[in-house]
C-alpha cells in the first residue's frame, strides 16, 4: 500500500456537489469504508479532535510583569542605592517593584481558554457504517468518507454532506445565529451560499432537533467549520487596551525625560556646583524616585477593580480588568441579534384573516398580551374564527409550555410551535384542556417534502382535520376561506399573496392554518384527505421580537454618540425588520455576507462605517467587519453568544458574551460576560467605563503634580547648590503612602452629570491632553514654591536640616490634601457642599493621611526611619496657609477655563448657519 498523503481527500465545495459526486470525490460508497481503509485515513488526518493551544507557564507570566520601562528605571535605582550602601532605600524600592509585579500578575487572570471551550463542543460518539455494518465508535476515530447516521438528540460528530434525510432539522444557532432550527435537504446549493444556506451540510457540534439523516464525513477536527473558527481564534492576537497603550507610551516618554534630567542634573552638579559624584548619584536616585509615580499601577488597578465590582452589581461580569476602562471609550457596538437584541423566544405578532389583520402584543412564551385591529383592542371571545384558528394552532402542534414555580414559562419543543401555543393562551384557550378534550386520532407529521402537518380530531361530535404549514403549500390545498361572519367563501389567492408579502416585509416568518370537516366515515387520516377541499382560517406572522429594554439601551447608546451595528447570521429581511424596530440602520436594507465578499479592503471600511445592519454573515465576515472598523480608528465592542462569534469577540477591543445562553467558547473569548443576556446592561457598563476613565484621569491629574513637585525641589536644590530638601526614602513615603491613599479616594467618584450625553473620547486623544499637562505643571510649580519656600525659611531661621525636611514633606502632603478637593472635578467648582462633602471616601482618606503625617512627624520609630523631627505647632498654620493658597489658585484657574469655553461656545452659536 502506498504511503498515505493529505491529497487523498480533496478540499471541495461539498454543498455545491450532488450527493453521488461527493461520495466519488471521497472515494467512498453508501456501504461506508472498510476498517482497514478507515485506519489508513486516520493515519493521514489524525484524530477528530482539536489541538490544544500552547500555554505560558505561571512563571513566564510573572516574569513578564517586569517588562516595563518604568520598572527598569526603578530596578536601576534600587541597584545604585544598594551599591552606595543605602540598603534601606534599596529594599523599599525593591518592595515597590515586587508589589507592582504581583498586582499585574493577579490582574492578568486566567489564560485564554476559548479553543478548549470549542474542543468540548465535539461529539463523543458516532454511529457509522464500517464494512457494511452499522456500529458505534468514538467520534475521534471518524475519517473523511465515513457514513454517519443522525437522529433527534444527536450532536453532529463531524462536518457531513447529507445523502438522505427525513424531516431533518438542526439547531445551528451557535454557528449562524438563526432563531429557529434549520430545515435540511439533500439537493446541491449554490457554491457561493453562506453557511446558513448550506442546507445539505450538517456541521460538527450542532444539535439535531428533529428527524433522521445519513451523511458522509467531509471534514474532521481542524477541517470542520468549528475547526476553522478554532484556527481563527489561535491566530488572533489579543489587543492591548487603549489605556494600557497610553500608559505604556506615557511610561516611555516619562522615562526619557527622567533619564535626560538625571544626566543633565548630574553634569550640572559635578561640573558647576562642585558636588561629588557620590553625592550626585544619590541626588539622581532621589530625582528618579521622585519623578516616577510608583503608586500609579496600584491606583489604576484598584480603580479598575472598583469599576468591576460596580459592573457586577449591574450584571456585567468583567473577565479582564483593563476592559473596564475600554468600555468607556467605545465608539461602536457590534451586536449579534438572536438572544442579545432579541429575546430568542419566537412570538406571533400578526394574525391575518380574510379582510382583517390583527396585531398581537406580548413577548415570550407567557400568555399575557392582547389583540388589536388598527390600534383598536378586540376581545378574542367575540371572534369565532380567531378562536378556531388558535384552537387549531394548539391541536395541530407537538410543543408544550410549562409554568415554573418562579412564574417563568418554559418551552418544550419547537420554538415556532411554542409561539402558536402561546397565541392560543392569549386568545383564552387552556392548551392542556384542549388536548384532553380533543385528542389526536391520527396525524400526518411534518415532512420537508410536503411542508405541512395535519391532525385528525373529534370536534363538536364530528371528525375535524386541522392543518398548518408553509403558506404557498397550504393555499394550494384550500378552495375556501373563512370570513368575519363565520362563512366559508371562495378563496382569493391575490389577496392572500398581498398579505404574505406585507407580513414577510416586516421580517416575520409565515405559517398558514386551515381546517376541513370530512365525512364521518373518512376513517384514518391520509394525504388524499388533505390534497384539496380545505378552508383557510388565516395566516400568522412569527418573529423573535426585540427586547424592550434593549431598544431603550440602543437609544441611550445613540445619545452617548455610540453607533450600534447588528451583525447576524439570520436572514436579511428579518435583520432589517428588527433593526428598524430598534432604531438601527434607519430602515436601510441589510448588507449580506455575499455583498461583503465582493468588496475590496477600502470599500469594506466604507461600508462597515456607513451601514448598521449586516445579515447572513459568516465568522470571517464578522472578523473582517470588526477589523475594518478598528482600521477606521473606532473602538469596537462586539457582543455574541455563539461559536461563530468567538473570533470577532476576541479581536474586538471589548468582547461581550452572553452569560445565560452563550456558549463557553464565546465566554472564554470575551472580556465581559452579561449575566442577564441583556443588551441594556452594556449601556450601564459603558457608563461605568466612562466613569472609571474619568476617575483614572483625575487620579493621574492628582498624582503627577506630586511627582513633579518632588523632582522640581531636587532640581532647584542642585541648581542652587543646596542640600536636598527631601531624601529618597521620604519621597517614597509621599509617593507610595500619602499620594496613593489620597488618589484612591478619587476611584470612588460617582458618574458626573451628563456622562452619557457626551461623545466618546477621541481614540487618538492622549491620556494627558495639553490642558492636563498645563494643570500638572501649574500645580507642580506652586507645590515646589510652597515646599521649597518653607524649607528655605526654616533653614534661614537656624532650623535643623531634619526639621526643614520634615516641613517640606508636610507642605507637599498638605498641598495634596487641598488639591485632592480640586481634583474631584476637572472644570467645575468645588466650593460648595457637594464639592467638599460629596465623596465620603475623600474625607476618610484625608483623615487617614493626617494621622499618618502626625506619626511620620512625631512617632520616634518613624522619625528614626525617615530622619524627621518634631515640628512646632505654629508651623502647621504656615503649611495650611500655603496649601489653601494652592487650592484657591486652582479654583481661579478653573473659572478662567470655564469662561473661556463659554465664550467660545457663544461665538459658535452666533455663527451664521448655511
Question: What would the pLDDT profile of 719-751 be if each residue is shown by its tens digit?
Answer: 888 888 988 788 878 877 787 789 889 988 888
Whether 685 shows a pLDDT value over 50: the answer reads: yes
Tell whether the model's pLDDT for residue 611 goes beyond 90. yes
In which band, very low, low, confident or very high, does the pLDDT at 914 lie, cut at 50, 70 and 90? very low
* Phi and psi angles of residue 670, each rounded to the nearest 5 degrees, phi first: -105, 165
Mean residue pLDDT across the chain: 83
Asked whether the CA dihedral 652, 654, 658, 664 is positive or negative, the reply is positive
The answer to whether 336 is a known catalytic residue is: yes
Contact 670, 336 (CB under 8 A): no
Contacts of 360 (CB under 8 A, 6+ apart): 347, 348, 349, 350, 351, 369, 370, 371, 423, 426
> Is the model's pLDDT at 86 over the cut of 60?
no
CB 727 within 8 A of CB 867: yes
Q: Are 443 and 468 in contact (CB under 8 A)?
A: no
pLDDT for residue 98: 79
Q: How far apart are CA 698 and CA 409, in angstroms?
A: 48
Which residues, in sequence order, are bridge partners of residue 360?
371
Owner of C-alpha cell 464525513: 217
**If DSSP codes are grouped into helix, strand and coil, which group holds residue 516?**
strand
**pLDDT in the model for residue 562:** 92
Question: 780 to each of 298, 773, 777, 786, how far by Cα in Å?
Answer: 22, 10, 5, 10
83 pLDDT tier (thresholds 50, 70, 90):
low
DSSP for residue 558: H
Q: Is 313 left (phi over 0), alpha (psi -120 to 50) or beta?
A: alpha
| Rounded Cα–Cα distance for residues 179 and 172 (Å) | 9
Helix axes 770-796, 873-910, angle to 10 degrees: 160
**Cβ atoms of residues 541 and 471 within 8 Å:** no
Nearest to 615 by CA among 177, 192, 184: 177
Comparing 5 with 547, the larger pLDDT belongs to: 547
φ/ψ of residue 546, rounded to 5: -65, 150
pLDDT at 803 over 70: yes
Confidence tier at 234 by pLDDT (50, 70, 90): low
Chain position carrying cell 459603558: 686
What integer pLDDT is reported at residue 640 of this predicted model? 80
Count how many Cα atoms sit within 13 Å of the Cα of residue 534 in the half-sphere of its side chain.
Answer: 28
Size (the chain), residues: 914
pLDDT tens, 520-539? 565 678 888 898 899 999 99
Position 53 confidence tier, pLDDT thresholds 50, 70, 90: low
CB atoms within 10 A of CB 66: 15
Q: pLDDT: is 177 or 260 the higher one? A: 260
Average pLDDT over residues 303-309: 78
Residue found under cell 436572514: 571
Three-state DSSP class for residue 453? strand
Nearest-angstrom CA–CA distance, 736 and 373: 70
71: Cβ contacts below 8 Å, ≥ 6 apart: 97, 100, 101
Give backbone dihedrals phi and psi of 463, rounded to 5 degrees, phi first. Answer: -65, 135
HSE value, Cβ hemisphere, 13 Å, CA-based, for 608: 28
- Distances in Å between the Cα of 682 and the Cα atoms of 274, 462, 675 are 62, 56, 11
Residue where the block lists cell 493529505: 6
Task: Please work out, in degrees rounded to the nearest 5, the angle formed at the alpha carbon of residue 837 by the alpha carbons of 831 and 843.
Answer: 120
Q: How far is CA 781 from CA 740, 886, 889, in A?
A: 20, 10, 12
Identify the CA nearest to 540 among candidates 505, 501, 509: 509
The DSSP output letter for 321 is T
CA-nearest of 444, 363, 430, 360 to 398 is 444
Question: DSSP secondary-structure letter at 585?
Answer: S
**pLDDT tens, residue by residue, 406-418:** 777 888 888 889 9
- The arithmetic mean of pLDDT across residues 232-255, rounded, is 68
Q: Is 508 helix (H, G, I), strand (E, B) or coil?
A: coil
**Greater pLDDT, 474 or 762:** 474
Radius of gyration over every alpha carbon of the chain, rounded to an integer in angstroms: 36
Residue 572 has pLDDT above 50, yes or no: yes
* Catalytically annotated residue among 197, 336, 431, 653: 336
Q: Provide the percentage of residues in the chain whose pLDDT is more than 90.
A: 32
In this predicted structure, what is the pLDDT of residue 563? 93
Task: Mean pLDDT check: name the lowest of 14-18, 313-317, 472-476.
Answer: 313-317
In the chain, DSSP finds a helix count (H) and a strand count (E) of 33, 28
| Separation between Cα atoms, residue 595 and residue 586, nearest integer Å | 19
Contacts of 335 (CB under 8 A, 6+ apart): 341, 564, 565, 566, 567, 638, 639, 640, 679
Which of 637, 636, 655, 692 shows the shortest CA–CA distance to 325?
692
Query: What does the H/E/C string look like for 832-863?
Result: CHHHHHCCHHHHHHHHHHHHHHHHHHHCHHHH
State the alpha helices, DSSP H only, in 641-678: 646-651, 664-668
What 239-244 contacts at long range (C-beta under 8 Å, 24+ apart), as own/partner pairs, is 239/651, 239/652, 239/653, 241/322, 241/323, 241/325, 241/326, 241/653, 242/325, 242/326, 242/329, 242/635, 242/653, 242/763, 243/300, 243/322, 243/325, 243/326, 243/329, 243/693, 243/696, 243/767, 244/322
Mean pLDDT of 897-904: 79
Neighbouring C-beta atoms of residue 238, cutoff 10 Å: 12
Q: Is the pLDDT of residue 286 over 80?
A: no
The secondary structure of residue 320, as a DSSP letter, is S
Q: d(Cα 265, Cα 259) in Å, to the nearest integer?
A: 10
Minimal CA–CA distance to 866: which of 806, 791, 801, 789?
Answer: 806
Percent of the chain whose pLDDT exceeds 70: 87
Give SS3 for 109: coil
Distance CA 478, CA 490 (A): 9
CB-CB contact of 866 with 803 (8 Å): no
DSSP state of 913: P
Confidence class for position 117, pLDDT limits 50, 70, 90: very low
The answer to whether 205 and 226 are in contact (CB under 8 A) is yes
Nearest-angstrom CA–CA distance, 361 and 369 = 5
Residue 859: exposure state from Cβ atoms within 10 A (0-12, 13-18, ≥19): middle
pLDDT tens-digit profile of 89-105? 567 667 767 766 775 56
- Chain-centroid distance, C-alpha 745: 29
Distance CA(815)–CA(502), nearest Å, equals 71
Q: How far apart are CA 434 and CA 429, in angstroms?
A: 7
C-alpha distance across the termini of the chain, in Å: 82
Amino acid at each position: 500500500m502506498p504511503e498515505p498523503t493529505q491529497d487523498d481527500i480533496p478540499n471541495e465545495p461539498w454543498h455545491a456537489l450532488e450527493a453521488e459526486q461527493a461520495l466519488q470525490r471521497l472515494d467512498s460508497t453508501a456501504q461506508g469504508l472498510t476498517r482497514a481503509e478507515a485506519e489508513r485515513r486516520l493515519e493521514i488526518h489524525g484524530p477528530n479532535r482539536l489541538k490544544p493551544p500552547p500555554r505560558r507557564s505561571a512563571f513566564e507570566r510573572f516574569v513578564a510583569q517586569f517588562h516595563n520601562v518604568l520598572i527598569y528605571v526603578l530596578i536601576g535605582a534600587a541597584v545604585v542605592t544598594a551599591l552606595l550602601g543605602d540598603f534601606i532605600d534599596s529594599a523599599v524600592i525593591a518592595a515597590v517593584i515586587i508589589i507592582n509585579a504581583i498586582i499585574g500578575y493577579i490582574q492578568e487572570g486566567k489564560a485564554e481558554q476559548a479553543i478548549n471551550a470549542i474542543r468540548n463542543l465535539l461529539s463523543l460518539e458516532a454511529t457509522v457504517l464500517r464494512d457494511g455494518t452499522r456500529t458505534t465508535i468514538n467520534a475521534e476515530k471518524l475519517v473523511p468518507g465515513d457514513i454517519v447516521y443522525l437522529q433527534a438528540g444527536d450532536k453532529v460528530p463531524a462536518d457531513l454532506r447529507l445523502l438522505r434525510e427525513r424531516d431533518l432539522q438542526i439547531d445551528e444557532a451557535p454557528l449562524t445565529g438563526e432563531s429557529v432550527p434549520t430545515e435540511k435537504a439533500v439537493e446541491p446549493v449554490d457554491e457561493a451560499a453562506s453557511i446558513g444556506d448550506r442546507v445539505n451540510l450538517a456541521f460538527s457540534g450542532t444539535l439535531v432537533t428533529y428527524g433522521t439523516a445519513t451523511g458522509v464525513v467531509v471534514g474532521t477536527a481542524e477541517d470542520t467549520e468549528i475547526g476553522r473558527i478554532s484556527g481563527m481564534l489561535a491566530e488572533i492576537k489579543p489587543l492591548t487596551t487603549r489605556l494600557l497603550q497610553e500608559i505604556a507610551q506615557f511610561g516611555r516618554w516619562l522615562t526619557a525625560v527622567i533619564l535626560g534630567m538625571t544626566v543633565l542634573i548630574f553634569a550640572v552638579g559635578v561640573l558647576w556646583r562642585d558636588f561629588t559624584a557620590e553625592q550626585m548619584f544619590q541626588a539622581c536616585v532621589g530625582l528618579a524616585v521622585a519623578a516616577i509615580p510608583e503608586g500609579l499601577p496600584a491606583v489604576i488597578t484598584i480603580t479598575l477593580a472598583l469599576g468591576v465590582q460596580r459592573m457586577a452589581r449591574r450584571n456585567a461580569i468583567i473577565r479582564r480588568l483593563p476592559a473596564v476602562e475600554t468600555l468607556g471609550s467605545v465608539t461602536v457596538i457590534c451586536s449579534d441579534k438572536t438572544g442579545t437584541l432579541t429575546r430568542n423566544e419566537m412570538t406571533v405578532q400578526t394574525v391575518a384573516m380574510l379582510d382583517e389583520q390583527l396585531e398581537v402584543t406580548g413577548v415570550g412564551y407567557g400568555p399575557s398580551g392582547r389583540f388589536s385591529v388598527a390600534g383598536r383592542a378586540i376581545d378574542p371571545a367575540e371572534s369565532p374564527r380567531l378562536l378556531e384558528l388558535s384552537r387549531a394552532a394548539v391541536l395541530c402542534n407537538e410543543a408544550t409550555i410549562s409554568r415554573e414555580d418562579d412564574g417563568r414559562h418554559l418551552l418544550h419543543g419547537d420554538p415556532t410551535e411554542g409561539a402558536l401555543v402561546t397565541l392560543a393562551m392569549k386568545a383564552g384557550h387552556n392548551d392542556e384542556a384542549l388536548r384532553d378534550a380533543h385528542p389526536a386520532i391520527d396525524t400526518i407529521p411534518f415532512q420537508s417534502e410536503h411542508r405541512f402537518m395535519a391532525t385528525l380530531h373529534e370536534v363538536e361530535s364530528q371528525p375535524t382535520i386541522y392543518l398548518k404549514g408553509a403558506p404557498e403549500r397550504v393555499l394550494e390545498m384550500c378552495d375556501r376561506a373563512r370570513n368575519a361572519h363565520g362563512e366559508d367563501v371562495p378563496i382569493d389567492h391575490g389577496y392572500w399573496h398581498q398579505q404574505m408579502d406585507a407580513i414577510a416585509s416586516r421580517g416575520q416568518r409565515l405559517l398558514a392554518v386551515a381546517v376541513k370537516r370530512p365525512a364521518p366515515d373518512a376513517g384514518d387520516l391520509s394525504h388524499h384527505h388533505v390534497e384539496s377541499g380545505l378552508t383557510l382560517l388565516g395566516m400568522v406572522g412569527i418573529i423573535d421580537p426585540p427586547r424592550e429594554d434593549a431598544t431603550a439601551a440602543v437609544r441611550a447608546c445613540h445619545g452617548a454618540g455610540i453607533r450600534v451595528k447588528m451583525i447576524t447570521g439570520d436572514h436579511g429581511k428579518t435583520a432589517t425588520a428588527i433593526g428598524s424596530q430598534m432604531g438601527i440602520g434607519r430602515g436601510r436594507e441589510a448588507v449580506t455576507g455575499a455583498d461583503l465578499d465582493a468588496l475590496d479592503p477600502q470599500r469594506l471600511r466604507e461600508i462597515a462605517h456607513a451601514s448598521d445592519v449586516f445579515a447572513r454573515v459568516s465568522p470571517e465576515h464578522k472578523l473582517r467587519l470588526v477589523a475594518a472598523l478598528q482600521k477606521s480608528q473606532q473602538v469596537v465592542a462586539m457582543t455574541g453568544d455563539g461559536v461563530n462569534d468567538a473570533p470577532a469577540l476576541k479581536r474586538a477591543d471589548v468582547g461581550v458574551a452572553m452569560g445565560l445562553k452563550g456558549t463557553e467558547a464565546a465566554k472564554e473569548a470575551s472580556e465581559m460576560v452579561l449575566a442577564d443576556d441583556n443588551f441594556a446592561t452594556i449601556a450601564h457598563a459603558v457608563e461605568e467605563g466612562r466613569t472609571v476613565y474619568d476617575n483614572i484621569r483625575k487620579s493621574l491629574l492628582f498624582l503627577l503634580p506630586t511627582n513633579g513637585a518632588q523632582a522640581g525641589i531636587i532640581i532647584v536644590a542642585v541648581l542652587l547648590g543646596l542640600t536636598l530638601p527631601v531624601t529618597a526614602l521620604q519621597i517614597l513615603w509621599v509617593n507610595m503612602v500619602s499620594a496613593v491613599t489620597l488618589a484612591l479616594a478619587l476611584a470612588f467618584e460617582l458618574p458626573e452629570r451628563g456622562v452619557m450625553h457626551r461623545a466618546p473620547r477621541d481614540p487618538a486623544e492622549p491620556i494627558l491632553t495639553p490642558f492636563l499637562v498645563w494643570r500638572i505643571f501649574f500645580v507642580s510649580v506652586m507645590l515646589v514654591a510652597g515646599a521649597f519656600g518653607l524649607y528655605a525659611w526654616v533653614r534661614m531661621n537656624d532650623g535643623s536640616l531634619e526639621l526643614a525636611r520634615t516641613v517640606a514633606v508636610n507642605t507637599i502632603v498638605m498641598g495634596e490634601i487641598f488639591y485632592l478637593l480640586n481634583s474631584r472635578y476637572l472644570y467645575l467648582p468645588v466650593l460648595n457642599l457637594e464639592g467638599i462633602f460629596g465623596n465620603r471616601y475623600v474625607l476618610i482618606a484625608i483623615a487617614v493621611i493626617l494621622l499618618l503625617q502626625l506619626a511620620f512627624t512625631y512617632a520616634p520609630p518613624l522619625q528614626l526611619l525617615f530622619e524627621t523631627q518634631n515640628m512646632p505647632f505654629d508651623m502647621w498654620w504656615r503649611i495650611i496657609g500655603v496649601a489653601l493658597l494652592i487650592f484657591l489658585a486652582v479654583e481661579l484657574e478653573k473659572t478662567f477655563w470655564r469662561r473661556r469655553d463659554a465664550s467660545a461656545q457663544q461665538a459658535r452659536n452666533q455663527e451664521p448657519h448655511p
